[in-house]
Every structure is written in C-alpha cells, then in structure tokens.
Amino acid sequence: MSATPSRPSAADVPDTDRRRVLLAAPRGYCAGVDRAVIAVEQALEQYGAPVYVRHEIVHNKYVVKTLEKKGAIFVEETSEVPEGEIVIFSAHGVAPEVHKEAERGKLATIDATCPLVTKVHKEAVRYAKEDYDILLIGHEGHEEVIGTSGEAPEHVTLVDGPSDVENVEVRDPEKVVWLSQTTLSVDETMETVDALKGRYPNLLSPPSDDICYATQNRQTAIKQVAEEADFVLVVGSRNSSNSVRLVETAIAHGARDGRLVDSAEEIDEAWLDGVRTVGLSSGASVPEVLVDEVLEWLAGRGWEDVEIVQPVEERMQFSLPKELRKDLRAEAKSRMSG
C-alpha cells in the first residue's frame, strides 16, 4: 500500500521556487481618514439620514459606496445642498470661500479636514500675512491643493513637480517659501525643492514636514518591500494621491513592476507570470477588508506564505471634529428663522 503524498510545506519548497507575499506595514487607514469616516458615520447616527458630504470624504470608492448605503449624499458643490441641511467637508480640506458659501446657504457644517492639512492651511495664511510668495508643491486640480491655495490665492503659485520649476515666477527671490501637499512622494518633493533652491538660494522651508507621517511611513515600508519583491500590488483608488505614489515608489526602489487596484477583482493573473515574491500595501484611505480580499486571492493561487515587513510603528489618532459635540439641526433651524 502506497502512502498518500502529503502537500509540501513551505519549508520543503526550495527557496528559489517559494511563492511569498511581503505585506507592508503600516498600510491602509491613517488617522485623518479614520476620523473623517467616523465623523460621517456619527453624524448619520446623531442626526439621521440624509447627511450631505462635499466631495468624496476620502479618495476610496468602497468607503464612499458604503457610506452612501448608510444615507450619506455626496455632492460636488455646497450649492447642491438644500438650505438648513448638514454638510460635511472632506479630509482634504476646503478653501475659506467654501465655508462662506455654506453660511450663505444656511447650512450646518462639520469640518472633517485632516488636522495635518489644516496645519498647511495655517502656514499658508501666516506666510501670506508676512507677504511671502508661497510655492506650493502639489498636483494641479487635487482637492487639497485647491483648498490650500484658496487660503491665499494672491500669494500661492503651484509647482507640479521638478519639471514645473522653470515656469515659476516670483516677485522677490529673497522672500519665497515652499509648502507642499501632504500626500506626495517624499523623494520627488525633495527633487523639486532642490531645483527650486537652485533658482532661489534663500528659499525658506516650512517649520516642519508638510508631507504627513502616514504618507511617509507607507512609503518607507513599500521601499523596504520593493527591495525583495518582483511585483507590487497596492490597493487604492486612482484618484488617491498617496496610493498612486506607493506604486511609483515601489518601482523606483527595485520592484520590477507594480499595479494599483481598487479590489482583488481587478487583479489580472497574467501580471504574476514568473513572479515569486509579491509585495502588498494599501493607501491611507483603504479599509483593511480590501487587503484581506487580495491576500485571499493570492493564497488561492499559491501565495500563501505571508511575511510582514514593518520598518516603522504608527500610533497616531485624532479627536473627532468639534462640531459633532453640538446640536447642529437646532443650529441650522435657528439660522433659517434668523
């Protein structure tokens, strides 16, 4: 009687044939996204549906759809919100003009702007008051950049990467400061800053990093993963700046290729032809359930062996927007009667 052949364990497989996943940590939700999503959920619980949200609360389709099912209505502009209703501003922040528009529309507002974006807004206000020309490094059209520029439109010039530096014009080369969007590539931003310093040697830097801790930590982790991964998968939506940067960072640091996917359904098996080590991470607006689905998808195709790569610890938390501690419906009604 012959013995039933048992399945080889990972330890029996020669190292060169071993299929494994390097799972980056930290990944997924940052403190600002967590706070914004909880703010919408809590507003729905406290005031009942509908609650209006200006723009996607965070750049993730799954999160937006889940909140829609619970009764959130996403709008592009505050003017679309009926008088007296509640509107929540997204984690990316808004320009002061949007707050004024909400007041004119007699809306009650909950500001879920990430405190780290608010910090950049305050820097813009302060340097504008001191009459600096502010060179804001960021991506044209991104909501965060629109919000920050709106704090001091007369003073802010957008610099969209190193190739944009030659187009910059300032009033006084001795009085220039750079700020940045919070979700950029750390490496590319420093390239842009170096190029700007080449043109303006007295360029002032912000008092502390504008690229937030979450963006930096996720990039640090994916760099380490990319050193050993043949292929990197990043879970995130295409309009999520920090997610897109993770793919670019991985490829720049050793991964042969990489792709951004909203969910496991978007993975094309052909991408993994000849791949032994898959790196996996997710953007700051991605719930962990979507990463779990990708891990399941990979395990079903032989990538069962998962190693966590965690070069940095992360423990940041923000308190909820203060407006959630008030009776907003009563406030909106009194505005309407006033």
Interface with ligand SF4 in residues 99-138 (CB under 6 A): 114, 116-117
Whichever of 171 and 238 has its CB closer to ligand SF4, that residue is 238
Residue in 144, 154, 266, 288 annotated catalytic = 144
Query: Judged by CB under 6 A, which stretch of 26-34, 159-167, 251-259, 266-274 contacts ligand SF4?
Result: 26-34
Query: Does 287 engage in binding with ligand SF4 (CB under 6 A)?
Result: no
- Which lies closer to ligand SF4 via its Cβ, residue 262 or residue 305? 262
Say whether 205 counts as a known binding-site residue: no
Both structure tokens of 250: 């991985």
Q: Is 241 marked within a binding site?
A: yes
Contact 287, 63 (CB under 8 A): yes
114 marked ligand binding residue: yes
CB 312 within 8 Å of CB 217:
yes
Q: Which of 212, 225, 226, 246 binds ligand SF4 (CB under 6 A)?
A: 212
Which amino acid belongs to residue 223?
Answer: K
- How far CA 174 is from CA of 21, 130, 134, 160, 167, in Å, comes to 50, 13, 12, 22, 18
Provide the pairing of β-strand 72-75 with 51-54: parallel
CA 134 vs CA 43, 169, 177, 206, 220: distances in Å? 36, 11, 5, 10, 28
Minimal distance in Å, beta carbon 275 to ligand SF4? 29
Supply the DSSP string of 311-330, one letter for each residue.
SS------PPPGGGGS-HHH
The most distant pair of C-alpha atoms in the chain lies apart, rounded to whole Å, by 91
Toward ligand SF4, which CB reaches closer, 219 or 277? 219
Dihedrals φ, ψ of 307, to 5°? -115, 135
Q: How far is the CB of 212 from ligand SF4 (least distance, A)?
A: 3
185 is in an annotated binding site: no
CA count, 13 A, side-chain hemisphere, 93: 23
Give yes or no for residue 146 binding ligand SF4 (CB under 6 A).
no
Q: In what order do the strands lie in the sheet with 156-159?
A: 156-159, 133-137, 176-180
Is 144 marked active-site? Answer: yes
Angle between helix 115-129 and 31-47 (nearest 10): 110
Q: 146 vs 212, which CB is nearer to ligand SF4? A: 212
Residue number, 117 or 176, with CB nearest to ligand SF4 = 117
Residue nearest to ligand SF4 (CB): 32
Tokens of 237: 């939506």
Is 55 annotated in a binding site? The answer is no
The answer to whether 163 is a known ligand-binding residue is no
Interface stretch with ligand SF4, choices 29-37, 47-55, 101-109, 261-269 (CB under 6 A): 29-37
Contact with ligand SF4 (CB under 6 A): which of 23, 37, 91, 244?
A: 91
CA distance 256 to 309: 18
In which residue are the tokens 């080369």 written?
173
Closer CB to ligand SF4, residue 176 or residue 284? 284
Q: Write out the binding residues for ligand SF4, residues 31-70 only, by CB under 6 A.
A: 31-33
CA dist 238 → 46, 82, 137, 155, 241 (Å): 32, 30, 20, 30, 8
Contact residues: ligand SF4, CB under 6 A = 30-33, 91, 114, 116-117, 182-183, 212, 214-215, 242, 284
Catalytic positions, please? 144
Residues of the binding site for isopentenyl diphosphate: 59, 92, 142, 240-242, 285
Residues of the binding site: 30, 59, 92, 114, 142, 182, 212, 240-242, 285
